Copies of this chain bind each other. A is one copy, B any other.
Amino acid sequence: MVRENEIRRAEVAVAPPVAEDAGLAFIGCIGTPWTSRLLCPRQGRLDGPDCRIELFAPWDEGLDGIEAYERLEVLYWLHESRRDLVRQSPRNDGSARGVFSLRSPVRPNPIGTSVVGLLRREGNMLIVRGLDCLDGTPLLDLKPDRTSFTPLAPPQPGDFETGA
């Protein structure tokens, strides 16, 4: 069962983070078939149901050129997640492990990331597959997936540095 807001046996809560180091703007909204956290997939799948990503003005102009990419990285704000559980028990079985060894939505900065398949663009809207989030999730960012993106800008010295 997905967590509602309870703390489970063996979990460790710390003081909620003071979230004032930087501020986010919600630049769009994500539409999915899942209206409750009890129904969301644990992980999106590229053959999953169609979902919508709507960009708010003036950010819709930033979609120019996006049709060139089949795979996009999507960043979104997990707006229903608590932020204070440094150890979590995904199986609720009395064992727990650190939040950074989990892809749980409960995190100090609850940012979700997915790689989606872009089916088409309709104006300020993208139709995609591969999301796992709740209907109405706020959008933070969109980028071409790293595996399909080649920088357009000239290379820099660091591009050629390798480890010892």
Partner of A48, one of B27, B38, B162: B162
Number of copies: 2
A87 within 8 A of B: yes
What is the CA–CA distance of A40 and B158 in the complex, to the nearest angstrom?
5
B24:A23 contact, CB within 8 angstroms: yes
Within 8 Å CB of A125, what residues of B?
A: none
A25:B108 contact, CB within 8 angstroms: yes
- Counting contact residues on chain A (CB < 8 A from B), the size range is 35 or more
CB neighbors of B among A2-39 (8 A): 2, 12, 14-15, 17-27, 33-34, 38-39
What is the CA–CA distance of A162 and B33 in the complex, to the nearest angstrom?
11
Residue of B nearest to A61 (CB): B86
Residue of B nearest to A108 (CB): B27
Partner of A14, one of B58, B114, B141: B58
If A12-B61, A21-B24 touch, whether A163 touches B103 (CB-CB below 8 Å) is no
A73 within 8 A of B: yes
A64:B109 contact, CB within 8 angstroms: no
Q: Which residues of A line the B interface, CB within 8 A? A: 1-2, 12, 14-15, 17-27, 33-34, 38-43, 45, 47-50, 55, 58-59, 61-66, 68-69, 72-73, 75, 77, 79, 86-87, 90-91, 97-104, 107-109, 111, 113-115, 129, 132, 138, 140-144, 146, 149, 151-159, 161-164
Given contacts A14-B61, A40-B156, could you give 6 more A-B pairs where the C-beta distance is less than 8 Å? A21-B24, A41-B161, A42-B155, A49-B162, A65-B97, A75-B111
